[in-house]
Amino acid sequence: MELTRNLYCVIMAGGTGSRFWPMSRQSKPKQFLDVLGTGRTLLQQTVDRFSQVIPNENIFIVTNKAYSKLVHEQIPGFDPEQVLLEPSRRNTAPCLGYASHKILTRNPNAILIVAPSDHLILKEQDFLDQVDQAVEFASHTAAIVTLGIRPSRPDTGYGYIQFTDKTDHPESAVRKVKTFTEKPNLELATSFLASGEFLWNSGIFITSVETILSAFKKYLPEMHSVFQEGLGLYYTEEENRFIERAYAQCTNISIDYGIIEKASNVYVIPSDFGWSDLGTWGSLYENSVKDDSGNAIQGKRVMLYDAKNCIINMPREKLVLIQGLQDFIVVDSDNMLLICLKENEQEIRQMVADVKAIKGEEFI
Question: Across residues 69-74, what is the average pLDDT?
Answer: 97
Gap between the Cα atoms of 146 and 198, Å rounded: 13
Question: Across residues 267-273, what is the average pLDDT?
Answer: 94
pLDDT recorded at residue 314? 93
Question: Across residues 167-186, what is the average pLDDT?
Answer: 82
Residue 353 has pLDDT above 90, yes or no: yes
pLDDT recorded at residue 171? 63
Domain 4-276: CATH superfamily, name plus number: Spore Coat Polysaccharide Biosynthesis Protein SpsA; Chain A (3.90.550.10)
pLDDT recorded at residue 169? 62
Residues, the chain, total? 364
Taking the domains of the chain in order of start, what are their residue ranges?
A: 4-276, 281-363
Helix (H) or strand (E) holding 329: strand 328-333
Give me the numbers of helices (H) and strands (E) for the chain, helices first please: 11, 17
Question: Across residues 186-191, what is the average pLDDT?
Answer: 92
Total-model pTM:
0.92
Q: Residue 167: what residue type?
A: T
Gap between the Cα atoms of 38 and 42, Å rounded: 9
- List 252's β-bridge partners, or say none: none
> pLDDT category, 278, cuts 50, 70, 90?
confident
Question: Across residues 246-267, what is the average pLDDT?
Answer: 95
Q: Choose among 10, 4, 29, 16: nearest CA to 83.
A: 10
pLDDT recorded at residue 17? 83
pLDDT recorded at residue 305? 97
Output b/e per residue, 157-181; b: 16+ Cβ within 10 A: ebbbbbbeeeeeeeeebbbbbeebb
Residue 3 has pLDDT above 80, yes or no: no
With the C-alpha atoms ordered 313, 315, 316, 322, is the resulting torsion angle positive or negative? negative
> pLDDT category, 259, cuts 50, 70, 90?
very high
pLDDT recorded at residue 62? 98
Span 299-339, pLDDT tens digits: 999 999 999 999 999 998 899 999 999 999 999 998 899 99
pLDDT recorded at residue 280? 85
Residue 166 has pLDDT above 80, yes or no: no
> pLDDT category, 165, cuts 50, 70, 90?
confident
DSSP state for residue 288 in the 8-state scheme: S
